[in-house]
Structure 1
Amino acid sequence: MFVGREAELAALAELAGASLRAPAAVLVVGEAGIGKSSLVREFVSRTDALVAEGGADPGATAYAVFVPVLRRLVREYGARLVPGGGSRGLARLLPELGEVEESGDLGRARLFEEVLLLVEGAAGRRQVVLVLEDLHWADQASRDLLAFLLRNLMRPGVLVVLTSREPLRLPGVEVLRVPPLGRAEVARLLGRSDVDQILARSEGNPLFVEALADAGTATPASLRELLLAGAERLGEAGLGVLRVAAVAGRRIPHEVLLRASGLDELTFDEALRPVVKARLLLVDGDGYAFRHTLIREAVYDDLLPGERRRLHARCAALLSGTQPELAADHWYAAGERARAFQAAWEARRWDRVLELWEHSSGQDHAQVLELAARDALHAGEATRAEELAGAALAEVSDPLRAAHLLELRVAIRDLLGEEGLDDLREAVRLAPREARLIGSLANTLTWIGQYGEARELAEEALALGDTRSLTPLAALTALEGDLATAAELYARARAEAPDDDAVLVAYASEADVLEAAGEHARAEATARTGIAQARRVGLARSRGAHLAANLSEPLTSQGRWQEAREVIAAALTLDPPPIIRAWLLLVLGTVAVWQGALEEAGGVVRQARPLMRGRSRGYDSCLEPDLLECRLAEAAGDGERLAGLVGHVMSAHDLTLSCRYSWPLLALAARAGLVSAAPEGIPTIGRVQEAYRATFEAETGGSWAEAVAAWRVVGQPYALGQALVRHAEQEPARARELLREAAALAGQVGSEPLRAAVAGAAGATRTSLTGEPALSARELEVLSLVAEGLSNKQIAERLFISARTSGVHVSNILAKLGVSSRVEAAALARRTGLI
């Protein structure tokens, strides 16, 4: 009997209505037995939406919470809602969809994408309510998938209802706490008025209320006795059915419970009826579920050890052949380890297979280690995957197998932020005619600046049939300055790509080299096209995160910093692999420094550094965080920190291997007076690097006019503004013209550091940006305090001058600026960059 909870039901109904406008999620929280499940069942019984339910059990396998939910949606609408009919991701959880297509390091991403597409596709046909219960027991993989869904659900018509005994940190979830029942509600539940004693002992917990009522006047010794009080009054047959149900699982299909009970249908119905009447089991669709998990636990714990093993073996025998993943758990609990091994093998549960390896009979241990490593990789458990791949490598002697295991380890370490060069070299040595391995090595060598060898290997791989090698060949051609030929190679790489992933890698590579060459508009367009393609093939939130990094860079270069921030924020919510997260953070940190948000930039550096293990994809990605830290130290005026960073870069890195970040670092170091000459052999490829080289040369005695001209060609407003300020300092006669342009650029991009540099240069060159006589350094100082809203007296106290003198300064400032009030003076000063 359901009583009370009117406020909670109303809250759920309100959320259901709101979810028709935008997806919504609610976490129903309360102690064991408080009625969370009863509340949710009552709510779903009143909705016309499609309800898909799942839940967690202690010790369940990965993604177990979601399997019944996904199966319900697929049965309702089929797998046509996702690309490839679910064979790329969903088939990992739903074997009925067929064999799983191997996806390399994108297995987990594919799965997450397809689950999202399935849910949103279902919501496009009918409102969907997803119910996930007992999340306090959920495995980490299920929690990760849930967090991904909550962050990325966009289509209206989805309500996610979660239950847990304790609050959980989940994005975008409203928390609904279920309180104890009051006296009137307890009276309604029991159908009597003398409830004071039961209310006091149960503290309003509905489960305890019913257990105490069932116990009569007896004083139970423990909660377990309370929970079993109703069961003790069942006949032997009913108690037997209840015990079978406790062993069988959280939710038991009718046919399974019938066959596991060993009874004929009529006898089974008679035995089951009092169990349902006592509300120990509830009818749940075409099966049964315990009214509360605690009841199941109590019944299960009350079984004798031998009885428990026999019932597990009976369930395992029934499930073998149809649900081997469940049969494996039952055989294991029954102590039948050899049978558990066989069922786990059929279910492809490689971790359990490894645990039971002593019961193997001729299987290949190294192969199982490899399969377990791939499963761990697909689940995002990169550290575990690395351990398993290493163990497999230690056991194989066949060169070709070892080569492919090394390639697997490279994919794993890629998620950890390493480029895997040593593993790839060894793989190619072991299998010198494997085209894909040669192409992978060529791609990595391209990343780390070893261009000559990279080109030779890419051409060799292409000749052997590896069309993926067209992408590094295109990148190398672009780095040589031939963007037209590179574009043709990229187009061919996409046309001849063996799969969607290779297409998206080609888009990302092309956007990257275009940005490095200073082709910001083309880089932006390419990245956006790639993101659209990623959406079409169901990889918008995996490879799409990589392309988002490629998009945020040209947006930043063009001074569209708010747009870049929005792209980065959206991509970071997708929980991308460490190296991609690091790239996104580094662009965000650069924007923060240029805007003047130095505290934010410092936090970004602290987040990004640990994500970049080892060489982290070569010298470009190695020097990028160094450049950001140098920019941050310079902006903060921390000369000691800046000197230490520049010293580290010059001594620890070979700047000739970076095709992108060496000249920016050298220009910054020269501006600080820390470097006066560039090392020989540093490449200068593309308009951006030419502009940074011109800046370096200007900082070391050359022409700022040439640097300004170079930045005008590139079209980066912030860098151009910096060069204009330095040019004004070098040529005071042109200061007013140059600084007015720089001030306009500072306002355009919203850069406080550039505004400050303009004001400083105006003061140093005694330049008025308004056309009026220039303000003196003291007048600029007073003007900044006027802009803060200080009175003449407060200005005098701040500057240790008399109030009369401060008044004279203010009057002179108003006269020179041609304004009639302090407010107008402050506004004009900000608009023109004086402060």
Structure 2
Amino acid sequence: MRFVGREAELAALEAALDAARARAPQAVLVVGEAGIGKSRLVSEFTGRLDALVAQGGADPGAMAYAPFVPVLRRLVRQYGTELVPDGGRRGLARLLPELGEIDEDADLGQARLFEEALLLIERSAERRPLVIVLEDLHWADQATRHLLAFLLRNLMRPGVLVIATSREPLRLPASELLRVPPLGRDEVAAMLGRARQDVERIMTRAEGNPLFVEALADAGTTTPASLRELLLAGAERLGGASLDVLRVAAVAGHRIPHETLRAVAGLDDLALDEALRPIVKARLLLVDGDGYAFRHALIREAVYDDLLPGERIRLHARCAEAQPDLAADHWYAAGDRPRAFHAAWQARRWDRVLELWDDSLRPGMDHARVLELAARDAMHAGDAERAEELASRALDEVADDPPRAAHLLELRVGIRDLLGEEGLDDLRLAVRLAPRAARLIGALANTLHWNGQDAEARAHAEEALALGDTRSLVTLAAITGLQGDLDSAAALYAEARAKASDDDTVLVAYASEADVLEAAGEHARAEAVARRGVAQARRVGMARSRGAHIAANLAETLASLGRWKEAREVVGAALALDPPPIHRAWLLLVLGTVAVCDGSLDEAAEVARQARPLMRGRSRGYDSCLEPDLLDGRLALAQGDLERAGRLADHVLTAHDLTLSCRYAWPLLVVAARTGRVRRSPAGIHTSGRLQQAHRATFEAECGGSWASAVAAWRALCQPYALGQALVRAAEQDRAGARELLREAASIAAALGSEPLRREVEAAAASGRVALTADFGLSARELEVLGLVSEGLSNRQIAERLFISARTSGVHVSNIMAKLGVASRVEAAALARRTGLI
């Protein structure tokens, strides 16, 4: 059949490609019902291009990332493996066995796969414009969708166009939706080249669906009884050998390599070619690189459903021998559970192994070990809830084996950490079960430190270090730094990085050091450390995981320094990587803090709403669990909702022990003081470093102390927003120096672009009758007249009040407006109030 119509859709794809070449990567999701012509549209478009086209497609029940395998393989074959670090053996080798043995690191596999796929695509596009086609994404597994979302968020370089097809709209970031409508009567007529009466008949039945139009046309004058018959109309006219090959293809999958088809069909090359030619001519199968693909999945489904039960079993068994990577699925479909189990075991498809588990199949096999492996797979695929369930089941099965139970408890702690849940109880139990396990003792020390129990944390960290756990150096460094000895802490962090046996420990050291420096108010040093950590995370393929953690540290420091635009950029780039929940929460909290400071209060409220569910527990101790409360408190104050801020302060004071927090106790007490909930600080609040001292000075000023002391503390830290707020409050205490204090605060507000701070300054100036701007040269009489203008009096009323003529009053008003540079009495009054002239 001829390709007709679709001019608007082709133009949209061409425009997307032009934009991809000229500006930035583009993505188009082509949506339409089965048979509407999505694949044909994309095929026609790509057939016209002077670009490299790499294609893949999803299939029901296929392995994870299956649509990306042919795409990535095409790029590797075109340009070689030198485009990615280590030739792809740390990530891409998981999908492309031809790259060699995997450089195994179970904890980082997905992150490295994502990063290497991104690098391969971007560097390929540097050589030639690249069009990636992903067919039938409505069947895509969750892992494929995560990888696609990651790529769409992070592709930055021009020259890449991603085209995906689906039967229904999908939520894909940064993508354009292109719906493919049914064909009109004229288009169907042009497609068929038939008389009008035939077109009307076919159009009525097909409703403009090109696949149905073709099926009806091929079926002749007979009206099919069902869609399956329509789809099989072309297949029924095939010869015996061709029909056998088509049936083999239906069992083998949506796309079938030529070698697989030959092996399963059992034909020599000439016989296979002769059998395939009528199938391809009928467009039941299309040539697709070094294999074949069904023109539409519905055709494959119809052919498959038409198989006899015994025929289906035999073909699945033969496909299992020819497709080792899919053997488990084929044996399962053939009803051979023992072979399906064995194949799933060989392919390390642990969820399928569990589904098929039967003690009679594999006597003596370790079921708990399979549960553990399936849990790890689920965790790396981003399904932390499923991973937690599997790990808990494994724990139940090894309850009488203390070392194994301790090992699984550690795994569950890591899984629950991603869910924002605390693992302290699990770690204590794990250490009791394996009292000489250095790694477990070190993990317990770290968690105790997060929860403010530093004395016990230090003891465990020193014990773990003596047993060989060098990662405990990071915990010791954090405790030392937060107690005020930053130089010793820096030495311990450096030692931890030097002795680290893995990339993750190096990055943990960077994250912790940046956090400790920020807590101490050493913003410049914190920024430098965080930037080194972010760069290292990118180099080792961990930008999405640990790199996002360090990015949150960097953004927090930039926010403190008043570099809000930079902070937003860092947060945006990190969030685009789709980091784990707890890291995403930290990034959102920094974003929310910036939004409160610059006056984007609706944004701040939405960010707070998103962040709270991601921090369900206290996985990072008291400092982390208090962060959402602090953001909510600051937001309530910015919105002028003192009642809500007060309720939140009550919650914090009753539900939390602020003595356990090294970072957020004093800031939360400031919120409580602003609402009148406290007038003196609880005993034992941590105060180490210049930042905490500045927060304490602010709290004491809120309780009636000196705002000048708070101003001095914030000025020494170079934190402009906090300094501006303190200057405004200091002006209320120091009437004589109010003008200079408020002018400085106004200058800070303007430089930051902070609307809340600007309003605070103007309100204080108006209340204290302080002129913020330069002297406008108004005389005493003119200031007197301006005050009456601001009260809304007319020229005659002003004249009566001042015992002058109405003409003289009018002259004064005209002179005032000229000196102020305003065009109306209303503007003059507003400026007078805003600048403190009256």
TM-score exceeds 0.5: yes
Deviation at 1:181, TM superposition (A): 3.3
Structure 2 residue aligned with 1:494: 497
Structure 2 residue aligned with 1:248: 252
Distance of 2:792 and 2:362 partners within structure 1:
87
Structure 2 residue aligned with 1:801: none
Mapping 1:282-361, distance limit 5 Å: 282-319=286-323, 323=324, 325-358=325-358, 359-361=361-363
Deviation at 1:741, TM superposition (A): 1.4
Does structure 1 retain, via aligned residues, the 8 Å contact 2:771–2:835?
Answer: no
Distance of 1:375 and 1:543 partners within structure 2:
19
Q: Report the AA paired with residue 290 of structure 1.
A: F
Structure 2 residue aligned with 1:685: 688
- Which of 467, 473, 491 lines up with 1:464 in the alignment? 467
1:190–1:758 distance in 2 versus 1, CA, 3 Å: closer
Using the size of structure 1 for normalisation, the TM-score is: 0.91
Q: For 1:751-775, what per-residue CA distance to the aligned partner results, in whole angstroms no more than 9, with x for missing partners?
A: 2222222223223333333476999
Deviation at 1:540, TM superposition (A): 2.7
Structure 2 residue aligned with 1:733: 736
* SS at structure 1 position matched to 2:460: helix
Q: For 1:733-786, what per-residue CA distance to the aligned partner results, in whole angstroms no more than 9, with x for missing partners?
A: 22112122122222222222222222232233333334769999xx99x99998
* SS at structure 1 position matched to 2:64: coil
Distance of 1:273 and 1:154 partners within structure 2:
43
- Which of 532, 546, 550 lines up with 1:547 in the alignment? 550
Q: For 1:258-284, what per-residue CA distance to the aligned partner results, in whole angstroms no more than 9, with x for missing partners?
A: 221233444333333222222222222
- Alignment pair present for 1:661 and 2:664: yes
Does structure 1 retain, via aligned residues, the 8 Å contact 2:114–2:147?
Answer: yes
Does structure 2 retain, via aligned residues, the 8 Å contact 1:743–1:833?
Answer: no
Distance of 1:618 and 1:171 partners within structure 2:
33
Distance of 1:463 and 1:33 partners within structure 2:
67
- Larger deviation, residues 764-773 vs 601-610: 764-773
Deviation at 1:564, TM superposition (A): 1.7
Deviation at 1:492, TM superposition (A): 2.4
Does structure 1 retain, via aligned residues, the 8 Å contact 2:90–2:103?
Answer: yes
Deviation at 1:726, TM superposition (A): 1.7
- Larger deviation, residues 408-417 vs 462-471: 462-471
Q: Report the AA paired with residue 396 of structure 2.
A: A
* SS at structure 2 position matched to 1:357: coil
Distance of 2:48 and 2:341 partners within structure 1:
44
Q: Report the AA paired with residue 226 of structure 1.
A: L
Structure 1 residue aligned with 2:526: 523
Structure 1 residue aligned with 2:646: 643
Distance of 1:760 and 1:689 partners within structure 2:
28
Q: Report the AA paired with residue 47 of structure 1.
A: L
Structure 2 residue aligned with 1:558: 561
- Larger deviation, residues 658-667 vs 439-448: 439-448
Mapping 1:95-174, distance limit 5 Å: 95-103=97-105, 105-174=107-176
Does structure 1 retain, via aligned residues, the 8 Å contact 2:551–2:574?
Answer: yes
Deviation at 1:536, TM superposition (A): 2.1
- Larger deviation, residues 145-154 vs 434-443: 434-443
1:225–1:744 distance in 2 versus 1, CA, 3 Å: same
* SS at structure 2 position matched to 1:733: coil
Deviation at 1:74, TM superposition (A): 2.9
Distance of 2:789 and 2:385 partners within structure 1:
55
Q: For 1:285-340, what per-residue CA distance to the aligned partner results, in whole angstroms no more than 9, with x for missing partners?
A: 22222122111111111112222112111111222xxx2x3011000000011000
- Alignment pair present for 1:279 and 2:283: yes
Mapping 1:425-504, distance limit 5 Å: 425-504=428-507
* SS at structure 1 position matched to 2:191: helix
Q: Report the AA paired with residue 509 of structure 2.
A: A
- Larger deviation, residues 117-126 vs 326-335: 117-126
1:378–1:525 distance in 2 versus 1, CA, 3 Å: same
Using the size of structure 2 for normalisation, the TM-score is: 0.91
Structure 2 residue aligned with 1:260: 264
Deviation at 1:158, TM superposition (A): 1.5
Structure 2 residue aligned with 1:799: none
Q: For 1:607-638, what per-residue CA distance to the aligned partner results, in whole angstroms no more than 9, with x for missing partners?
A: 11111111131111112211122212222222
Q: Report the AA paired with residue 166 of structure 1.
A: E
Mapping 1:502-521, distance limit 5 Å: 502-521=505-524
Please provide the CA RMSD for this pair.
Answer: 3.0
Q: Report the AA paired with residue 382 of structure 1.
A: A
1:558–1:264 distance in 2 versus 1, CA, 3 Å: closer
Structure 1: gaps of 5 or more residues: 797-803
Does structure 2 retain, via aligned residues, the 8 Å contact 1:768–1:775?
Answer: no
* SS at structure 1 position matched to 2:256: strand
Q: Percent identity?
A: 73
Q: For 1:401-450, what per-residue CA distance to the aligned partner results, in whole angstroms no more than 9, with x for missing partners?
A: 22221111111111111231122222222222222222222222222222
How many residues are aligned here?
A: 815
* SS at structure 1 position matched to 2:286: strand
- Which of 209, 214, 237 lines up with 1:205 in the alignment? 209
Deviation at 1:815, TM superposition (A): 4.2
Structure 2 residue aligned with 1:91: 93
* SS at structure 2 position matched to 1:678: coil
Q: For 1:16-41, what per-residue CA distance to the aligned partner results, in whole angstroms no more than 9, with x for missing partners?
A: 34322321211222221122112222
Q: Report the AA paired with residue 493 of structure 1.
A: A
1:750–1:250 distance in 2 versus 1, CA, 3 Å: same
Does structure 1 retain, via aligned residues, the 8 Å contact 2:137–2:166?
Answer: yes
Structure 1 residue aligned with 2:35: 33
Structure 1 residue aligned with 2:802: none
Does structure 1 retain, via aligned residues, the 8 Å contact 2:768–2:836?
Answer: no
Distance of 2:273 and 2:108 partners within structure 1:
48
Does structure 2 retain, via aligned residues, the 8 Å contact 1:104–1:411?
Answer: no
* SS at structure 1 position matched to 2:171: coil
Structure 2 residue aligned with 1:628: 631
* SS at structure 2 position matched to 1:616: coil
Q: Report the AA paired with residue 507 of structure 2.
A: L
- Larger deviation, residues 633-642 vs 413-422: 633-642
Distance of 2:299 and 2:619 partners within structure 1:
52
Q: Report the AA paired with residue 363 of structure 2.
A: S
Structure 1 residue aligned with 2:752: 749
- Larger deviation, residues 634-643 vs 143-152: 634-643
Distance of 2:79 and 2:363 partners within structure 1:
42
Structure 2 residue aligned with 1:759: 762
- Which of 226, 232, 235 lines up with 1:228 in the alignment? 232
Q: Report the AA paired with residue 408 of structure 1.
A: L
- Which of 24, 41, 45 lines up with 2:26 in the alignment? 24
Structure 2: gaps of 5 or more residues: 798-804
Q: Report the AA paired with residue 715 of structure 2.
A: R
